[in-house]
Chain A
Amino acid sequence: DTEVTQTPKHLVMGMTNKKSLKCEQHMGHRAMYWYKQKAKKPPELMFVYSYEKLSINESVPSRFSPECPNSSLLNLHLHALQPEDSALYLCASSQASEQYFGPGTRLTVT
């Protein structure tokens, strides 16, 4: 099973709200990722966790805060977002070379 799940599927939030995106995988993968994707564009890497430790932060604004509570879970905490942050947020995991993606959370910031 190569399934990565994400909740919620859709999220609408105001610029003053605080919300969280959740991601889960039960494949025993050692690395988990957050990506941001704009329509018809390739995904942009935001964060990478390896063995539950933050390995890569691609200079993401502090209004995005990742968290890895355990090896199966990955959260992305959102606060004071801007309208330009509206996008599809994808979670992925990997053990070897290929990454497996979740279905994404469609985020709209109003």
Chain B
Amino acid sequence: AQSVAQPEDQVNVAEGNPLTVKCTYSVSGNPYLFWYVQYPNRGLQFLLKYITGDNLVKGSYGFEAEFNKSQTSFHLKKPSALVSDSALYFCAVRDIDSNYQLIWGAGTKLIIKP
């Protein structure tokens, strides 16, 4: 069965420190992987995606993610966290049987403390 796991419900990071939000997946074949961010009372914003190519993907707002096929992971990273990065982050993988359906992780709340 296809699935996405975000093992941490919440991640706390001090402002200026590097941050990592973890995501692992289980799909057969080559995955299409995505990260989205949701600020309070807002819709989801697309951050970045991995489809093929370089394992390090750069996205919006200084975020990047590293695709690791052997570990089936796609962790989101940022070298220096900002208080404004505090939000809910979702990892998703496209269902291999559909061009439209995404399989979502449960979400990780990121809190950046000043």
Taking Cβ atoms with an 8 Å cutoff, the residues of A that contact B are: 2, 4, 6, 31, 33, 40-43, 45, 48, 50, 55-56, 90, 92, 94, 97-104, 106
Residues of B within 8 A of A31 (CB): 99-100
| Chain B nearest CB, measured from A68 CB (Å) | 14
Q: How far is the CA of A90 from the CA of B42 in the complex (A)?
A: 10
User: How many residues in B have their beta carbons less than 8 Å from beta carbons of A?
Assistant: 25
Main SS of chain A's interface residues? Answer: strand
Residues of B within 8 A of A6 (CB): 43
- Closest 5 pairs (CB-CB, A-B): A42-B104, A101-B43, A101-B44, A103-B43, A104-B43
Judge whether B46 and A98 touch: CB under 8 Å. Answer: yes
> Is B80 in the interface zone, CB < 8 Å from A?
no
Given contacts A97-B51, A101-B43, A102-B43, 17 further A-B contacts (CB under 8 A): A31-B100, A40-B88, A41-B106, A42-B90, A42-B92, A42-B105, A45-B101, A45-B102, A50-B100, A56-B101, A97-B34, A97-B49, A100-B46, A101-B46, A103-B42, A104-B42, A104-B43
> Is B84 in the interface zone, CB < 8 Å from A?
no
What mask results when residues 11 to 47 of chain B are scored 1 for a CB within 8 Å of chain A, else 0?
Answer: 0000000000000000000001010100001111110
> Can you sample 25 A-B contacts with CB below 8 Å?
A33-B100, A40-B109, A41-B107, A42-B106, A42-B107, A43-B44, A43-B104, A45-B101, A48-B101, A55-B100, A90-B43, A90-B44, A92-B44, A97-B32, A98-B34, A98-B46, A98-B49, A99-B46, A101-B36, A101-B43, A103-B42, A103-B43, A104-B42, A104-B43, A106-B41
